[in-house]
Structure 1
Amino acid sequence: MSWSPHDLGLDRPISRRDLFDGIAVGVLGGALGTTIAKPGTAQAAPPSVTVGGDTAEALSVPHALRDGRFWTHAGEPEPTGESYDLVVVGGGRGGVSAANAWLRRSPAARVLVLDNHDALTGPPPGPSGPPDAVMCDAETFGADTLVTTTGPGWADRLPVAEAARRDLRLLRDDPPDWFPGLTAEGKQERLAELTYSRFLLEVCGTHPDVERFLRTTPSREWGYDARAFGAVDAWGTGYPGFAGLGLDRDKPSRYNSPTVRRNWHGPVASQEPRLDERARLRLSSPVVLVRDGARSAVVGYHDGHRVATVDAGAVILACWSAVVPYLVPGLPEEVRQALRQAVRVPALHATVRLRDPLAWRRLGVERVRWTGAYWCATEFAPPDSVRLVATPCRSELGPDAGSAAGRRELAGTPYEVLEESIRDQLARLLGPVGFDPARDVTEIRIDRWGHAYPPEFCRPWHPHYPDGPFPADALRGAFGRIAVAGSDAAPGARDDAAAVAAERAVKELA
């Protein structure tokens, strides 16, 4: 069924609870000579959408700094007269961990945390569980077919070639040893050379429909699909096709990524740290300069009207690694090179409040994976909401180049287009059980994260993993009164990496 903009409800206002993206950008844009329509910057939201994440307001100053336009319009920095023992740049997990660790060592210290966002929030946590249904969507298979994957015989209901059904049953129930004659270490080395898509197509020789059906399996958790996801991590995560290899499931391979190793015996819960109440926090305050001096460091941030500066006995940069060279231009070249290699993965999250959740309850499932539509996952969130995840990474290019390309495309995608895609996919999923996208949507919130997930070394894309040397090795040690932290600076599991890097930075400076 084809839904018109009117059918989807794009012409109907719905409630909003938060500030819109771009309200403050009009002021900032005028001061900095920027426009939010410029390629590479986020677009303003339509009246029917509430937005968060890496909004135009949060990114306008960093983008102007990156593009060499900031200091042309910003004016001279103005000292505030404030002095702190520690200034932390970035209020994410790494920044909060750094501030807390410093205050544990020096309880009376004056600590300031600066962040460019308007709230200390990050991308929502990962998936709450495996999907119990797959939408074999029109983008992949020509028409939408929802297939529940719980219970026997589900492969028979897939809209794929019969040969693909046979291959799926083989991968799931009785795969052979694809590498006979190789040792366990040799098999792991072979897997480390492949993506999961290449493993399916080149090693298993499956029908192309099998790869198309399984492609988005890792997307929600990793931010990219099977064309970028390593086969050795697919084995470590329990994906179909590996049982015949006879590999030891009691311990991970040395080639598994840090996150897979960390979660080997089940997902490890991560607690989001709360900022110590003794620390001062300034939101919507993007840092634009960090300079070490004879007696103290100087940190400058844009407060919406001017560049204000404070003095600091020490500075911890817990922000995106890509930003650091623009703040501290005098860093050694090997450090700048290491920072450029830290490429974050983009992600989109949306929450839609329903007027009545009855349609979803009629559907009879909780979590749905889509095989090729823009939003790769939909999940019911009681009592009356649906959560959606999209992964803009161009996975065919790999996690690094694909993330950069996907981020550029995401920055140029208007929120109106995102809203239409949300309503369209909900209509396709729930329309057959009585859902009306124009009538039954009461609120939409979109959180757009161009820099969502920290980079993680993995095979086959990073040949230096696991033996090193790692680019982050160049970041170790303080540069005068300045140290680099943040999850980009440590080659570890995503959530833990930020805290580990923060603790290291505190030790280097304390």
Structure 2
Amino acid sequence: MSFSPRALGMDVPITRRDFFDGIAVSCVAGSAAHKPLTPARPFTVRGDTSEALSVAHALRDGRFWERAGPPVPTGESYDLVVVGGGRGGRGAAAEWLRRRPGASVLLLDNHDRLDEREPAPTGFDAVMCDAESFGSDTLVATGSPGWIERLPIADRARRELRLLHDDPPDWFPGVPAEGKQERLAGLTYSGFLREVCGAHPDVERFCRTMPSAEWGYDTRAFGAIDAWGTGYPGFAGLQLGEEPSRFNSPTVRSRRHGAAPAAAVPALDGRVRVRASSPVVSVRDGAGSATVGYFDGHQVLTVAAGAVILACWSAVVPYLMPDLPPERLRALRQATRVPLLEATVRLRDADAWRRLGVRRVRWTGAYWCASAFTPPDTVRLLATPCRSELGPGAGSAAGRRELLMTPYSTLEHTVRDQLARLLGPVGFDPGGGIAEITVHRWGHALAPEYCRPWHAFYPDGPFPSDAARGRFGRIAIAGSDAVPAARGEAAVVAALQAVEELTR
């Protein structure tokens, strides 16, 4: 079904907010006619916004110091300066103060406030086999009896999907368990379905977005060994047991071991001085202390530090400390983060979603791959810009470039279109039923995780993070992409390691 911009409500006065990597983006309102902002259509932006990233991009491109002017010392001195206000940075500050309660601590961050993304929606109870994948939209509740029979896929694909779920064979007969795991480690899940199972294209197409909400990429990048470890269909006949494989990624290994979720990071108290919208541009170790320079929007200011913890993206560190050894610089640059896109929609008419009968919906090929309802009136949508066919690293870089070029009007149109397609059959009006749309664009969202088949050095090493991490004089490198750990715990693990290195 096709909806006109007017039918979707693109011209309706509502609150529209856009954020890029946590910072509000200033731009033209997202109406179909691209009208300028008016008081009736307030527009703000958050996330990895241009304001948050402009200094880092200028450093990357070699433009920043041409116009920045000489640094201006503030005369301030701190026992610890933390660069980065995310989970790792706050964890480092809290741990430092736990060990040294009387210490002075400054935390600097490039975003306008310290906040974190909500966990991705999981546990989908329905799948929208959408027009992008199958020519028309069909919503199927996957927990109901006979749900496979209601899928709009070929008869052969239904038979194969039932086999994968109910009674898959041993695809590698006569091969020992370690050999089976090694074969899976060389494949993506899409590759496993196509090359090992010989599955109909509709099967791969139906399964493609299964990992997207959690991992930021689809089955064309998601490893088959991790698909087995996560419980995806098709592996029961291999009889690999319950223990994780050594080839599983850290997150999957942790999950199969039944590890508890990472502990919450303590809230920062008044002992930590926080400066938001203060991107760090230089970090130097000197004879008496380290010097940290940050841009306050007008000039570069410097503070002295007895110790520095860089709890920021590893790929940024080479621009802050270009004099690091070449091997460490190369390792730091390898940490490419995965982009994510989130939209929060406040409904005027939430009854339509209640009539739908499900709360979490996975989409098989539309722009937004997941939609979840939170009472009383909020819908959260998630999109994964990563070009998964290129792999997690190259695909993330390509997807991030495309995300930067995607106008808000396109994002708003796809949000309204998909809600109309999902909720329209149960009486939802996309023109008048939406009160507010907030978009968060995270160009650098998920820390990279070592996984097969993309990292041949995993699990035996040596790991790039080993060369990237560690103390350099009074400076320690942390951040969630500085350790080969499960995503939920990586930032905290790195923070604790950095504090230990600097205080022992």
Q: TM-score, normalised by structure 2?
A: 0.94
Query: Residues of 2 paired with 1:156 and 1:23: CA distance?
Result: 45
Gaps of 5+ in 1: 27-35, 38-43
Select the residue among 77, 84, 87 that pairs with 1:93.
87
Aligned: 1:102 with 2:82: no
Aligned: 1:486 with 2:479: yes
Query: Residues of 2 paired with 1:222 and 1:466: CA distance?
Result: 19
Moved over 6 A (4+): 17-26
Q: Assess, with a 3 A threshold, how the Cα gap between structure 1 residues 432 and 48 changes in structure 2: closer, same or farther.
A: farther
Q: 1:22 touches 1:56 (CA, 8 Å); kept in 2?
A: no
Aligned: 1:52 with 2:46: yes
Q: Which letter maps to 1:4? A: S
Aligned: 1:403 with 2:396: yes
Q: Assess, with a 3 A threshold, how the Cα gap between structure 1 residues 419 and 199 changes in structure 2: closer, same or farther.
A: same
- Which residue is 1:262 aligned to? 254
- Which residue is 2:423 aligned to? 430
Gaps of 5+ in 2: 29-34
Query: Which deviates the most, 268-277 or 367-376?
Result: 268-277
Report how far residue 15 of structure 1 moved.
2.9
Q: Assess, with a 3 A threshold, how the Cα gap between structure 1 residues 232 and 216 changes in structure 2: closer, same or farther.
A: same
Coordinate RMSD, CA, aligned: 2.2
Query: Which deviates the most, 267-276 or 446-455?
Result: 267-276
- Which residue is 1:41 aligned to? none
- Which residue is 1:453 aligned to? 446
Instruction: Name the SS of the counterpart of 2:317 in structure 1.
Output: helix
Q: 1:353 touches 1:444 (CA, 8 Å); kept in 2?
A: yes
Aligned: 1:9 with 2:12: no
Q: Assess, with a 3 A threshold, how the Cα gap between structure 1 residues 349 and 289 changes in structure 2: closer, same or farther.
A: same
Q: Which letter maps to 1:149? A: T
Q: Which letter maps to 2:13? A: P
Q: 1:354 touches 1:385 (CA, 8 Å); kept in 2?
A: yes
- Which residue is 1:327 aligned to? 320
Query: Residues of 2 paired with 1:469 and 1:163: CA distance?
Result: 45
Q: 1:22 touches 1:57 (CA, 8 Å); kept in 2?
A: no
Query: Residues of 2 paired with 1:327 and 1:476: CA distance?
Result: 15
Q: 1:132 touches 1:365 (CA, 8 Å); kept in 2?
A: yes
Select the residue among 51, 62, 65 that pairs with 2:56.
62
Instruction: Name the SS of the counterpart of 2:282 in structure 1.
Output: strand
Number of aligned residue pairs: give it.
494
- Which residue is 1:30 aligned to? none
Q: Which letter maps to 1:258? A: P
- Which residue is 1:474 aligned to? 467
Select the residue among 110, 116, 128 that pairs with 1:116.
110
Query: Residues of 1 paired with 2:148 and 2:43: CA distance?
Result: 38
Q: 1:45 touches 1:414 (CA, 8 Å); kept in 2?
A: no
- Which residue is 1:74 aligned to? 68
Q: Which letter maps to 1:211? A: E
Q: 1:317 touches 1:486 (CA, 8 Å); kept in 2?
A: yes
Alignment of 1:334-483 (within 5 A): 334-483=327-476
Report how far residue 272 of structure 1 moved.
3.5
Query: Residues of 1 paired with 2:430 and 2:48: CA distance?
Result: 27
Report how far residue 415 of structure 1 moved.
1.5
Aligned: 1:293 with 2:286: yes
Q: Assess, with a 3 A threshold, how the Cα gap between structure 1 residues 105 and 341 changes in structure 2: closer, same or farther.
A: same
Alignment of 1:238-249 (within 5 A): 238-249=231-242
Q: Which letter maps to 1:57? A: E
- Which residue is 2:32 aligned to? none
Aligned: 1:180 with 2:166: no
- Which residue is 1:212 aligned to? 205
Q: 2:19 touches 2:47 (CA, 8 Å); kept in 1?
A: no
Q: Assess, with a 3 A threshold, how the Cα gap between structure 1 residues 53 and 430 changes in structure 2: closer, same or farther.
A: same
Q: Assess, with a 3 A threshold, how the Cα gap between structure 1 residues 76 and 386 changes in structure 2: closer, same or farther.
A: same
Report how far residue 11 of structure 1 moved.
1.3
